[in-house]
């Protein structure tokens, strides 16, 4: 009974197989609105396509996504070509997109508008333009070696300015490899470095035919050129990005050649006119110089040359007198100054200062001796007073009034408690000493107690 039941994997593989063998699902043309789009750089893209009532998952592998000429955005309506399949891991069906373009506007026009917007934000269209060389010697032409473009340029340059050298750099101007070929030739021109002007040109065509001149790498290469670049791509109504970034845009290849070189006959005529003006100017200047020379010859300087020095001679005499007067005034002033300095030196004579100092020294010595005598006398008086004070406080003075003090051979006795019966003590008087023996000791303390 269990043999009748299928596994989820088996059922999913069966359904996937049905999708793969269905001829109507192998190549599906679908229109819808992009949803859940999150760009993943250099990777596969996963998003959804929806309309008002349904939604389908979509995957666009990296190879197909990198070929897009526009940037998909959330909510953009697109036309897609792909195949419908089942993703086994989730069981969801999805469309694998092989080609996609905006709905209602061609992909190339959409890509062109986006690139123009990008480059305009970067400021490439508003950069300062380089001026064209007025008299170019060598002009580089980047275009196809066959076709009417190079013939028109050659014919125009030969007619207008045949002395200029045209150098053709054969270039692919249509197809997938054309943009890189244009950049390579511009690199060659830059490396050679012996050109004055560059013309990038091709004839008219559809937007697909002109697309290499709308590529970003071509635009950036033209901007980086050190030489002025003239762009003439398509007809007058066609405007490519190369036209916008070039230093000068020409409506046609013939116009590009006319902008690149002047008309030799016109330039020769201008040179002839300038030559005539130069000759006339030279003749005029020569005539003026002749008239000036004639007037100079008739001048009194040559007829009466001594008059030329009369004024200088008078001026010299005046300067000599002025010099003498000022010299005397200076000498007189210096003499007065010298006398003043001598008087000052006399007042500052060292001998007078020594004499004054000697007198001052004698006076100071006299005052010092008087001060010393007064000081010594005052000190003698003070000493006498101190001696009297000491004499008044002297123990000998007290002893002269009948007082004595008692000692033993080894100490001073100040109390009867220090005495012993029959002890020999020494009595000290102001005029001598006496040894006495202690017969009886009477203490004032004992007498008080007896009482």
pLDDT of residue 2: 61
- CATH 3.40.50.10550 range(s) for the chain read 132-262
- Please indicate, yes or no, whether the overall pTM of this predicted structure exceeds 0.95: no
pLDDT of residue 448: 52
pLDDT of residue 201: 93
pLDDT of residue 403: 76
Question: CB atoms < 10 A from the CB of 423, how many?
Answer: 13
Question: CB atoms < 10 A from the CB of 157, how many?
Answer: 24
d(CA 249, CA 252): 9
pLDDT of residue 301: 65
Distances in Å between the Cα of 102 and the Cα atoms of 29, 73, 99, 205, 211 are 13, 10, 11, 22, 17
pLDDT of residue 300: 65
Q: Which of 108, 165, 167, 117 is nearest to 142 (CA)?
A: 167
Residues paired with 202 in a beta bridge: 233
pLDDT of residue 341: 87
pLDDT of residue 450: 47
Q: Write out the chain in H/E/C secondary structure.
A: CHHHCCCHHHHHHHHHHHHHHCCCCCCEEEEEEEECCCCCCCCCEEEEEECCCCEEEEEECHHHHHCCCCCCCCCCEEEEEEEEEEECCCCEEEEEEEEEEECCCCHHHHHHHHHHHHHHHHCHHHCCCCCCCCCCCEEEEEECCCCHHHHHHHHHHHHHCCCCEEEEEECCCCCCCHHHHHHHHHHHHHHHCCCCEEEEEECCCCHHHHHHHHCHHHHHHHHHCCCCEEEEECCCCCCCHHHHHCCEECCCHHHHHHHHCCCHHHHHHHHHHHHHHHHHHHHHHHHHHHHHHHHHHCCHHHHCCCHHHHHHHHHHHHHHHHHHHHHHHHHHHHHHHHHHHHHHHHHCCHHHHHHHHHHHHHHHHHHHHHHHHHHHHHHHHHHHHHHHHHHHHCHHHHHCCCCCEEECCCCEECCHHHCCCCCEEEEECCCCEEEEECCCCCCHHHHHHHC
Q: Which of 242, 219, 239 is nearest to 122 (CA)?
A: 219
Q: Taking the domain 8-104, which CATH number applies?
A: 2.40.50.140
- CATH 2.40.50.140 range(s) for the chain read 8-104
What is the mean pLDDT of each successive set of 10 residues along the chain, which is 451 residues long? 77 86 86 89 91 91 87 85 88 90 69 85 92 94 91 94 94 91 95 94 82 92 95 81 93 92 91 92 92 79 70 84 90 90 79 81 90 91 86 73 80 80 82 84 63 42
d(CA 181, CA 248): 21
Q: Taking the domain 132-262, which CATH number applies?
A: 3.40.50.10550
Q: Give CB contacts under 8 A, 24+ apart, made by 6-9.
A: 8/91, 9/88
């Amino acid at each position: 009974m269990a043999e009748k039941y299928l596994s989820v994997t088996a059922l999913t593989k069966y359904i996937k197989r049905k999708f793969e063998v269905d001829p109507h699902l192998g190549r599906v043309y679908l229109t819808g609105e992009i949803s859940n789009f999150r760009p993943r750089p250099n990777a596969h893209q996963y998003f959804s396509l929806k309309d008002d009532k349904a939604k389908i998952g979509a995957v666009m592998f990296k190879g197909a996504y990198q070929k897009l000429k526009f940037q998909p955005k959330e909510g953009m309506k697109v036309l897609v070509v792909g195949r419908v399949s089942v993703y086994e891991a989730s069981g969801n069906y999805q469309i694998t997109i092989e080609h996609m373009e905006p709905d209602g506007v061609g992909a190339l026009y959409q890509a062109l508008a986006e690139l123009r917007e990008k480059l305009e934000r970067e400021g490439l269209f508003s950069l300062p333009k380089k001026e064209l060389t007025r008299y170019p010697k060598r002009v580089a032409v980047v275009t196809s070696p066959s076709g009417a473009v190079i013939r028109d340029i050659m014919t125009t340059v030969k007619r207008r300015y045949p002395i200029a050298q045209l150098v053709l750099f054969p270039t692919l101007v249509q197809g997938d490899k054309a943009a890189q070929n244009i950049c390579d030739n511009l690199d060659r021109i830059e490396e050679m470095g012996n050109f004055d002007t560059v013309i990038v040109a091709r004839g008219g065509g559809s937007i697909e035919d002109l697309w290499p001149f709308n590529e970003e790498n071509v635009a950036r290469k033209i901007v980086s050129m050190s030489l002025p670049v003239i762009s003439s791509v398509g007809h007058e109504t066609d405007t490519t990005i190369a036209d916008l970034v070039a230093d000068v845009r020409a409506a046609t290849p013939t116009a590009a050649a006319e902008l690149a070189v002047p008309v030799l006959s016109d330039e020769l005529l201008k040179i002839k006119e300038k030559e005539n003006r130069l000759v006339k100017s030279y003749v005029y200047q020569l005539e003026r110089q002749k008239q000036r020379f004639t007037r100079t010859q008739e001048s009194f300087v040559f007829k009466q040359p001594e008059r030329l020095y009369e004024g200088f001679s008078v001026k010299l005499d005046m300067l000599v007198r002025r010099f003498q007067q000022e010299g005397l005034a200076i000498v007189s002033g210096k003499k007065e100054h010298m006398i003043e300095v001598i008087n000052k030196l006399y007042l500052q004579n060292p001998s007078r200062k020594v004499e004054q100092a000697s007198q001052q020294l004698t006076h100071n010595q006299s005052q010092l001796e008087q001060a010393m005598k007064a000081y010594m006398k005052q000190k003698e008086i003070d000493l006498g007073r101190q001696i009297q004070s000491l004499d008044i406080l002297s123990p000998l003075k007290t002893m002269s009034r009948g007082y004595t003090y008692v000692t033993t051979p080894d100490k001073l006795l100040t109390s009867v408690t220090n005495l012993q019966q029959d002890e020999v003590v020494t009595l000290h008087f102001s005029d001598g000493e006496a040894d006495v023996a202690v017969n009886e000791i009477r203490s004032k303390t004992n007498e008080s107690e007896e009482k």
